[in-house]
């Protein structure tokens, strides 16, 4: 059953704050269970130019952190794939070529939320944040690791230890979720969970800096996405005591169920849809992948148009859809169906009604494209490391800026996020600034107030390391400097500039 196969692939590969105000306008830190990553310096190689053998460092002071350091960052030479010839059109929509362009810097006021670990990665952070600080230096902040969640990683000395099984984020990176196999084996082959398997779901609502546990259960569960309401969408293995199939009562049938946490509402598929996995559009509508490769609405009707008809396919689609900020357009990657051999890689833009608007061919496959604005995307592509190889090519992934208007894919020279030998650099969200980073709170949090007054009401409290959006207005009151900011939760207010790094 495809649902079981999906589970194998996904799983095997994958508290509130006490507001005690001080005169400094920072408050005590979160209680146990809300954990945070710390800052981390970056070492990188340029894509072109410079001494290929000399790493260039942008490291600040070494700071103590419970989170293990991110591996050395490389940005080696770009691979030169030999792509298959793309089709001229997809159901009447002309296919436009995207070509490799010159290396570029990461766009200003952008922070990438990047998955750096999947499965058994030990102390390696599962998610990191990559951006440029106020001095323009490349910076990588580990956001969550198994030790930071209070869990012991699986290792040769502890074969029953924990490992990550899933990651999810909303497009702007304000809400993130991770799932962890806490104990035992969370692999699923359609016959139920291994006895003793235990899973946990964690969520962050401030861009990955503080985390709280949403759920822990005996059995297998993993995150598959985020809802528009910032709930974690979770798949879990369910063992029904008795179900009826074809008029026969069958005992102990194992299936995959879906729910949203922390609310716990179960997502039920359309009747007889042959469903496999849901995802939610920005307006909250549930859309379901089916066993035959289609995507259907809750009433069972096809969402995608005739261009994606699985009975006469021109494109084999991947399962990940990313919508723009308006919710009117979605991105999806795919491969052109070619009965004579391998097909060309495609990047497709889909309207909210499921019709195809634009189609692009790419010289290599694109991983997890995310909207930056109407004509620019951020994503990753395979790359060569530029280091001595032992029979393996195109290891690892390189961040890229895709300019749809110019038809160019620009490798981002630095910063990247991990050694290419690991091969996991997927961008799962993009935060957009300009930013004001919370600093110097002694690991407490900074009050965001309704007005630039020490006596004004508190709208939110941002933990040390949170990236607030700088709204560009500053004012003085009674000798204190204030900055207007927006929190990851969307609250707009004023915070003391004494505790902000712009």
| Structural domain harbouring 93 | 33-432
Tell me, yes or no, whether 8 lies in a domain: no
Residue 383's pLDDT band (cuts 50, 70, 90): low
Tell me if 167 sits within 8 A of 428, measured CB to CB: yes
Domain membership flag for residue 297: yes
Residue 13 confidence (pLDDT) = 36
Same domain, 242 and 391: yes
- The number of helix segments (H) and strand segments (E) in the chain equals 1, 37
Do 346 and 197 belong to one domain?
yes
Q: Is residue 1 part of a domain?
A: no
Element (H, E) at 12: helix 2-13
Give a yes or no: residue 28 inside a domain: no
15 found inside a domain: no
Binning pLDDT at 50, 70 and 90, where does residue 118 land? Answer: confident
Q: Does residue 244 surpass a pLDDT of 60? A: no
Residue keyed to tokens 């104990």: 183
Quick one: pLDDT at residue 194? 57
Q: How confident is the model at residue 252 (pLDDT cuts 50, 70, 90)?
A: low
Residues 370 and 464 in one domain: no
Q: What is the rounded average pLDDT for all residues in the chain?
A: 76
pTM of the model: 0.79
Per-position DSSP letters for 429-478, written without gaps between them: EEEES-EEEE--SSSSEEEEESSSSTTSPEEEEEETT-EEEEEEEEEEET
Is the pLDDT at 119 greater than 60? The verdict is yes
Quick: pLDDT tens for 7-50. Answer: 433 333 332 222 222 234 544 333 333 333 332 222 222 233 33
From 302, 418, 321, select the one nearest 369 (Cα to Cα).
321
21 lies in some domain: no
45 — phi, psi (to 5°)?
A: -115, 145
Report yes or no: 70 and 40 within 8 Å, Cβ to Cβ: yes
Do residues 313 and 385 both lie within one domain?
yes
**Is there a single domain that holds both residue 365 and residue 481?**
no
Question: CA–CA separation, 432 vs 173, rounded Å?
Answer: 9
CA distance 480 to 468: 19
Which span out of 194-198, 222-226, 396-400 was modeled with the highest average pLDDT? 222-226
The per-residue pLDDT for range 160-210, each reduced to its tens digit, is 889 999 999 998 999 999 999 998 888 765 544 555 789 999 999 999 999
- Say if CB 221 and CB 201 are below 8 A apart: yes
β-pairing verdict for 329-336 and 345-351: antiparallel
**Domain end among 432, 449, 480:** 432
Total tally of structural domains belonging to the chain: 2
Q: Using the structure block, give the residue that is written with the tokens 């996405």.
A: 225
Instruction: Please give the pLDDT value at position 303.
Output: 92
Name every residue whose Cβ is closer than 8 Å to that of residue 27 and which is 6 or more positions away in sequence: 17, 18, 19, 20, 21, 444, 445, 447, 461
d(CA 118, CA 223): 13
| Alpha helical stretches, state H, 48-181 | none
Which residue carries 């779901």 as its tokens?
A: 201
Last residue of a domain, one of 409, 432, 455: 432
Q: Examine residue 349 and state whether it is found in any structural domain, yes or no.
A: yes
pLDDT surpasses 80 at 238: no
Percent residues over pLDDT 90 in the chain: 40
Do the domain assignments include residue 457?
yes
Same domain, 295 and 337: yes
Q: Are residues 424 and 454 in the same domain?
A: no
Q: Are residues 143 and 124 in the same domain?
A: yes
Radius of gyration for the chain, computed over Cα atoms and rounded to the nearest angstrom: 23
Contact status, residue 2 vs residue 10, Cβ threshold 8 Å: no
pLDDT of residue 79: 41
Residue that is last in its domain, among 432, 459, 480: 432
* CATH code, 443: 2.30.30.40
Of the listed ranges 69-83, 97-111, 253-267, 293-307, the least confidently predicted one is 69-83
- Say if residue 460's pLDDT is above 80: yes
Do 98 and 229 share a domain, yes or no?
yes
H-run or E-run covering 381: strand 376-382
The band of 351, judged by pLDDT with boundaries at 50, 70 and 90, is very high
Range with lowest mean pLDDT among 64-68, 139-143, 227-231, 232-236? 64-68
Task: Examine the domain organization and report whether 368 and 454 are in the same domain.
Answer: no
Question: pLDDT of 291-345, one tens digit each?
Answer: 777 888 888 888 998 888 877 778 888 878 899 888 899 999 998 887 777 788 9
3-class secondary-structure state, position 167: strand
Query: How far apart, in whole angstroms, are the C-alpha atoms of residue 295 and residue 369?
Result: 19
């Amino acid at each position: 059953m495809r649902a079981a196969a999906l589970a194998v692939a996904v799983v095997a590969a994958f508290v509130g704050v006490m507001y005690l105000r001080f005169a400094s306008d920072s408050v005590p830190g979160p209680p146990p269970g809300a954990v945070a990553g710390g800052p981390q310096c970056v070492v990188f190689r340029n894509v072109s130019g410079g001494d290929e053998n000399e790493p260039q460092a942008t490291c600040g002071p070494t700071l103590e952190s419970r989170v293990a350091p991110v591996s050395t960052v490389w940005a080696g030479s770009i691979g030169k794939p030999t792509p298959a010839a793309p089709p001229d059109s997809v159901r009447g929509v002309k296919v436009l070529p995207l070509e490799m362009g010159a290396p570029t810097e990461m766009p200003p006021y952008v922070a990438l939320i990047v998955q750096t670990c999947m499965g058994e990665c030990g102390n390696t952070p599962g998610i990191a944040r990559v951006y440029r600080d106020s001095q323009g230096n490349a910076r990588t902040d580990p956001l969550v690791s198994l030790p930071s969640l209070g869990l012991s990683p699986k290792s040769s000395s502890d074969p029953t230890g924990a490992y990550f099984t899933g990651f999810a984020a909303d497009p702007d990176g304000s809400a993130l979720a991770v799932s962890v196999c806490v104990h035992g084996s969370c692999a699923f082959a359609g016959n139920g969970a291994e006895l003793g398997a235990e899973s946990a779901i964690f969520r962050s609502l401030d861009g990955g800096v503080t985390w709280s546990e949403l759920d822990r259960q005996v059995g297998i569960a993993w995150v598959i996405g985020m809802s528009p309401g910032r709930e974690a969408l979770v798949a879990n293995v369910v063992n029904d005591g008795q179900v009826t199939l074809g008029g026969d009562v069958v005992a102990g049938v194992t299936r995959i169920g879906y729910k949203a946490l922390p609310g716990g509402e179960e997502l039920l598929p359309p009747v007889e849809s042959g469903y496999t996995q849901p995802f939610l559009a920005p307006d909250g509508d549930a859309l379901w992948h089916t066993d035959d490769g289609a995507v259907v609405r809750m009433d069972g009707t096809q969402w995608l148009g005739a261009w994606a008809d699985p009975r006469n396919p021109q494109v084999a689609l991947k399962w990940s859809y990313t919508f723009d900020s308006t919710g009117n357009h979605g991105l999806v990657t795919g491969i052109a169906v070619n009965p004579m051999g391998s097909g060309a890689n495609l990047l497709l833009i889909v309207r909210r009604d499921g019709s195809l608007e634009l189609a692009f061919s790419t010289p290599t496959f694109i991983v997890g494209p995310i909207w930056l604005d109407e004509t620019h995307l951020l994503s990753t592509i395979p790359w060569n490391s530029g280091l001595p190889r032992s029979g393996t090519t195109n290891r690892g992934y390189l961040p890229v800026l895709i300019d749809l208007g110019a038809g160019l894919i620009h490798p981002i020279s630095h910063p990247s996020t991990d050694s290419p030998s690991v091969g996991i650099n997927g961008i799962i969200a993009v935060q957009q600034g300009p930013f004001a980073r919370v600093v110097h709170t002694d690991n407490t949090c900074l009050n965001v107030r309704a007005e630039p007054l020490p006596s004004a009401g508190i709208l939110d409290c941002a933990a040390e390391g949170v990236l607030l959006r700088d709204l560009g207005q500053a004012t003085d009151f009674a000798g204190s400097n204030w900055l207007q900011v927006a929190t990851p939760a969307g609250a707009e207010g004023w915070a003391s500039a004494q505790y902000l790094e712009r």
